[in-house]
Amino acid sequence: MINALTVDVEDNHRIVARNMLGLEGPPEDAVVGNTHRLLELFRAHAVRGTFFVLGEIAAKFPELVRAIADEDHEIGVHGFYHMEVHRISAERFRREIGDAKALLEDLSGKAVRGHRAPSFSITPATRWALDILADLGLHYDSSIFPFKGRRYGWPGFPRDSHRMVLSEGRSIIEAPLSTVQVWGRRIPACGGGYLRYFPHWYTDWAIRHVQRERPAIVYMHPYDIDTRPPPAWLNDALRAGGNPARFYRTHQQWWRRTVESKLRRLLTRYQFAPLGEVIDRVLAADSEAGGS
Ligand SMILES: [Zn+2]
């Protein structure tokens, strides 16, 4: 079984500042170094993946997009300013995805086929976003977490990658994030916070469990492997605003020390490919089997 390796390329400190403090500002250099560390790690294991890049990262660090594309990884789009879909209008969503996609295509010299929404924010309430993605020529989306979550999720959504029929003859392929079934309930697995906070055996068990039936979709961020404390300006601003800066610091940083070694073990043990290629393989097998 060949699983999908995906990275959401963003500056987490800037997103925290924007969402918690209303402070706007350009992404900082840390994302460049962290992404290069991931690129090195993937190179060392001869693995290719999909990098869903924010428009604001591509605008500030065009060389980073070229470096990712030069190593034959797939480039996808992750929005422009990391605005969750339910927080913006349909018009703004259309404009920002269109702008980010055009910029990424220009820099990479390749068509962008895939999209991942910030914070998995395509849910039954924001289903309209899929129509816009189809209009913009996206081939697939990988934003739906098929479980009942507190902040996100689409309970009961099919767990296999499949073509979704949308309005007025449109369609798009949805590649839902991986979940495991435990005591009759679906729980998320295989990435991000789950990779940070859960012990290695959990992710290892989850991938084995998922790939019995379908490819696992592993996801991470460049900052997941950054063990440095947040910048002073962010800590100061959080403290001044009465926000739990200390909690943010310990909550995130302590666990990040464990991520790189977990990742090395996963890259050694399992096979990975870019998500676009994994989807093509799944759909080709379906049509051979006479499926839909
Ligand atoms: Zn993100």
| Tens place of pLDDT per residue across the chain (292 aa) | 999 999 999 999 999 889 888 889 999 999 999 999 999 999 999 999 999 999 999 999 999 999 999 999 999 999 999 999 999 999 999 999 999 999 999 999 999 999 999 999 999 999 999 999 999 999 999 999 999 888 889 999 999 999 999 999 999 999 999 999 888 888 888 887 778 878 888 889 999 999 999 999 999 999 999 988 888 888 888 777 776 655 565 556 667 778 899 999 999 999 999 999 999 999 999 888 875 5
pLDDT at 41: 97
Domains, the chain: 2-287 (3.20.20.370)
* Cα–ligand 1 centroid distance for 83 (angstroms): 9
What sign does the dihedral 91-75-175-78 (CA atoms) show? negative
Residue 171 amino acid letter: S
* Cα–ligand 1 centroid distance for 120 (angstroms): 8
* Cα–ligand 1 centroid distance for 143 (angstroms): 10
* Cα–ligand 1 centroid distance for 141 (angstroms): 14
Q: Which residue is it, tokens 């259309």?
A: 94
Answer left, alpha or beta for residue 156, where phi above 0 means left and psi between -120 and 50 means alpha: left
Residue 250 is encoded by which pair of tokens? Answer: 């310990």
pLDDT at 291: 54
Contact 198, 210 (CB under 8 A): no
> 239-265 in b/e burial notation, b at 16+ Cβ within 10 A?
eeeebebeebeeebeebbebbbebbee
* Cα–ligand 1 centroid distance for 287 (angstroms): 32
Distance CA(31)–CA(61), nearest Å, equals 9
* Cα–ligand 1 centroid distance for 78 (angstroms): 7
Distance CA(59)–CA(97), nearest Å, equals 13
* Cα–ligand 1 centroid distance for 8 (angstroms): 5
* Cα–ligand 1 centroid distance for 63 (angstroms): 20
pLDDT at 258: 82
pLDDT at 250: 52
Nearest CA among 101, 95, 120 for reference residue 53? 101
* Cα–ligand 1 centroid distance for 11 (angstroms): 9
Burial of 46 (0-12, 13-18, 19+ CB in 10 A): exposed
Distance CA(228)–CA(37), nearest Å, equals 14
* Cα–ligand 1 centroid distance for 220 (angstroms): 9
pLDDT at 252: 63
* Cα–ligand 1 centroid distance for 15 (angstroms): 9
The pTM assigned to this predicted structure is 0.95
* Cα–ligand 1 centroid distance for 82 (angstroms): 6
Residue 283 is encoded by which pair of tokens? Answer: 């759909």
Which stretches does DSSP call E strand in the chain? Answer: 2-9, 50-53, 74-77, 114-115, 140-141, 162-165, 171-174, 179-182, 185-188, 217-220, 271-273
* Cα–ligand 1 centroid distance for 285 (angstroms): 30
Q: How far is CA 156 from the centre of its chain?
A: 21
Contact 248, 16 (CB under 8 A): yes
pLDDT at 19: 85
Residues making up the chain, counted from first to last? 292
> How many CB atoms are located within 10 Å of the residue 89 CB?
8
Backbone angles phi, psi at 180, to 5 degrees: -115, 155
